[in-house]
Amino acid sequence: MDRVIRIGTRESELAVWQATLVKDLLAENGFKAELVFIKSEGDTDLKTPLYEIGVQGIFTKTLDIALLSKQVDIAVHSMKDVPTQLAKGIIQATVLPRASYKDLLVPKHDASFLDNPGAATVIATSSIRRKAQWLNRFPHHTLENLRGNVNTRLQKVKDNNWNGAIFAAAGLERIGLRPANAVELDWMLPAPAQGAIMVVCREEDAYCYAACQPLHDKETAICATTERDFLRALLGGCSTPISALAQVKDGLLNFTGNILSLDGKEKREISKQVSLDNIANLGSLAANEMLMNGGQSILDGIRNGQK
């Protein structure tokens, strides 16, 4: 069957890069594919903070509709943007090998201001998670909202009187835009599945599902799924400062997750290490344990608008 697989993608440079990667990988395995560009609500509204738009699926909803209406056959997403509950009729087709999971500080000039605790400092990010972790470490800093695609946000750092802004390393590195002065934030725990790419298809489309299987990276899928299970058990979205990281090393799965209050003043964290034979439900089990050890009060405060 000489079918051309239509790949749905957003129009940002990063989204197109990711979709093109999938197109090229499919071609290596003998499948023809083409890109179909779909504009999402998250791309057209660049002023409203993400947590005011109804963030769950803001970057995936339009592609889900295109997929279910058969405008496209598969869709490519940054996995951290995908809701933990996929839309009915849509399934995960593959997870690609993970790039860097880290966050980066991109300073306007350099990062020497971090060594001056009394300096008036302004950092930009639209991420509730990044804001909370930054304020936990630097409570005297001011956080400004930053929206737009990667290129737009980098330009805003140059145009505004900020000390710097926070970006995902994978996004900058994939399109060759990581600045030389960028600083890796090794202390900042990432968003669940940050750095991973997920491809989805229609549930009944056995052809596209099979075509995507050779691209699947089992280790990335295990880690990202554990992190997303942690997020799902906490009923969290982009409006909740929840972070998680799972890594495989020497036959063990090492997991760390946390939740913070919006102002960064309160924090609960949990770490687990289990064998790969014993990873079932690790993310949700870790979430429940953290809730019983102070996480629930933080979550309740966020929901009640108090933290």
Torsion of CA 96, 102, 106, 110, to 10 degrees: -140
Give the pLDDT confidence score for residue 55 in this predicted structure: 39
For the chain, give every domain's residue range: 4-96+196-216, 103-184, 227-302
Fold of 227-302: Double Stranded RNA Binding Domain (3.30.160)
| Catalytically annotated residue among 64, 73, 81, 103 | 81
d(CA 238, CA 113): 28
d(CA 253, CA 247): 6
Are 103-184 and 227-302 equal in CATH topology?
Answer: no
CATH 3.40.190.10 fits 4-96+196-216, yes or no: yes
Answering whether pTM is above 0.85, one says yes
CB atoms within 10 A of CB 34: 12
Fold of 103-184: D-Maltodextrin-Binding Protein; domain 2 (3.40.190)
Indicate the burial class of 294 (C-beta count within 10 angstroms; 0-12, 13-18, 19 or more).
Answer: middle
Is 81 considered catalytic here?
yes
What does the pLDDT profile of the chain (307 residues) look like in tens digits?
Answer: 589 999 999 888 999 999 999 999 999 999 999 999 997 654 444 454 433 433 345 567 889 889 999 999 999 999 998 988 888 899 999 999 999 999 999 999 999 999 887 788 999 998 999 999 999 999 999 999 998 888 999 999 999 999 999 999 999 999 999 999 999 999 999 999 999 999 999 999 999 999 999 999 999 999 999 999 999 999 765 578 999 999 999 999 999 999 999 999 999 999 999 999 999 999 999 999 999 999 999 999 998 875 5
Tokens of 76: 């490519």
